[in-house]
Amino acid sequence: MDDPGRQRPKRPFDTRISLTPNPGGLEIVIPPPRVGAARVASFLFLATWLTITWAVTSHTAQSRVFTLPFWAIGIALTGALLLSMIQTTRIAIGVQTTVLERRPFGSRRALATPEIAVRVGRRVQRGGDESTGAQGLLLEYGTKTYTLMLGYSDQEQRWVEAETRAWLARVQPA
């Protein structure tokens, strides 16, 4: 629960996240996070992975069949990494319906606004605990949890969480 005596976090001055309240809703646009050391390290790992796979593949015809799973894994991980560098998330929260959209090459989901909860935390995997994984903004909808804002600062996550909770408090029944 929110502490009514505590002041909501201010918008970080250098954030690229757009949060636009209007009478009919709240729109949040989350651009891809900046490229940092972790993404560069992932890219270098994948380049090494694919180079080694190519070297093994080029030796014999039998090795080509053996390396197919390694090619599939390397290409899938490279695609996911590149997508995370260009994908924008848009959340349009209305009084009755919330639209969660990822573009390009993403999904679009319509959710019932009264059933939504948001919090900053780590997504708990089956059989796991909350101490593992990257921290993000968690949008909870029934039994589904959508993890947003991975790679963003704690300040940005807390700011978006506070603004979203404040807006939801006005439209959700107590």
pLDDT tens per residue, range 83-124: 988 999 999 999 899 999 999 988 999 999 989 999 998 876
Model confidence at 2: pLDDT above 60? no
The pLDDT, as a whole number, for residue 22 is 82
Counting the structural domains of the chain, the total is 2
Instruction: Identify whether residues 96 and 27 lie together within a single domain.
Output: yes
Do 91 and 156 share a domain, yes or no?
Answer: yes
With cut-offs at 50, 70 and 90, classify the pLDDT of residue 1.
very low
- Tell whether 134 and 67 lie within a shared domain: no
> Higher-confidence residue: 91 or 135?
91
Instruction: Please indicate, yes or no, whether residues 63 and 95 belong to a single structural domain of this protein.
Output: no
Domain with 132, as residue range(s), is 18-32+87-171
Is residue 114 a contact partner of residue 98, using CB atoms and an 8 Å limit? no
Residue 11 lies in a domain: no
pLDDT at 77 over 90: yes
Q: Specify if 69 maps to a domain.
A: yes
Per the domain annotation, does 1 fall within a domain? no
* Domain co-membership, 102 together with 120: yes
Residues 98 and 76 in one domain: no
Write the DSSP string, the chain: ---TTSPPPPPPTT---EEEEETTEEEEEEPPPPP-HHHHHHHHHHHHHHHHHHHHHTT-HHHHHHHHHHHHHHHHHHHHHHHHHH-EEEEEEESSEEEEEEETT--EEEEEGGGEEEEEEEPPPTT--TTSS-EEEEEEETTEEEEE-TTS-HHHHHHHHHHHHHHHHHHS--
Residues 24 and 97 in one domain: yes
- Shared domain for 110 and 160, answered yes or no, is yes
Q: How confident is the model at residue 71 (pLDDT cuts 50, 70, 90)?
A: very high
Q: Are residues 55 and 108 in the same domain?
A: no
